[in-house]
Amino acid sequence: MLFHDRTHAGQLLAARLSHYADDPDLLVCALPRGGVVVGFQVAEALNAPFDVLIVRKLGVPGQEELAMGAISSGGIRILRDDVIETCGISPKLIEAVTAKETRELERRERLYRGHAAPLQIQGRTVILVDDGIATGSTMLAAATAVRQKHPKRLVIAVPVAPPSTCLELESQADELVCLAQPELFVALGYHYEDFRQVSDDEVRDLLERAAKRVAGHAISMHA
């Protein structure tokens, strides 16, 4: 399956999740930055509040696209022992990469939210969205962070991921929705006609638009 762009992927994903529409306990959370474009479409279609969950991949030095783990908001860190052992990465190097990515995570928290607090997760059905999954490290960190906040139900929803990664993540969620699971998985960009980088400004704009929609809905409900 080839998606035109992230907006198109989000619309198709929303159609698969339509049974959650108008659930008063629903919350859609997306992983920045690419996942925010996909998640925005899902939240709009399902009439749900929208938030971000900041996750940073811990890339192997010199091979940054190869994940040796990931960190998430709330002090969550997931390490892939197989990658660390194969690449011979020292504990000192792991800590250095973690410190660097923690600074970036905190920067993005301030940039995207300002002074606004994260939306409440406890007791809600949370749909965790990204624009795709490769190794699963970042999504695993995100799912772990969400689980720590005691949601009623956790759904992982993505347009594309390898079958092996989907199998690994199924145990981390109450439901896993993945539109395409190609046996030959090279990189996420191969499954999109347009896979341009998403900017911080775009992320902030989509979050603001979603917040205004929810606020407008609340006002009309009480009018």
Nearest CA to 29 out of 149, 181, 184 is that of 149
Cis preceding linkage at 107, omega within 30: no
Nearest CA to 108 out of 48, 185, 32 is that of 32
pLDDT tens digits, the chain, 223 residues: what are they? 899 999 999 999 999 999 999 999 999 999 999 999 999 999 999 999 999 999 898 999 988 878 899 898 878 898 989 999 999 999 999 999 999 999 999 999 889 988 778 899 999 999 999 999 988 888 999 999 999 899 999 999 999 999 999 999 999 999 999 999 999 898 899 999 999 999 999 999 999 999 998 887 655 554 4
Are 7 and 34 in contact, with CB atoms under 8 Å apart? no
Structure tokens at 27: 């919350």
pTM of the model: 0.89
The residue behind tokens 């049974």 is 19
Are 125 and 22 in contact, with CB atoms under 8 Å apart? no
Domains and CATH numbers, the chain: 6-53+115-222 (3.40.50.2020)
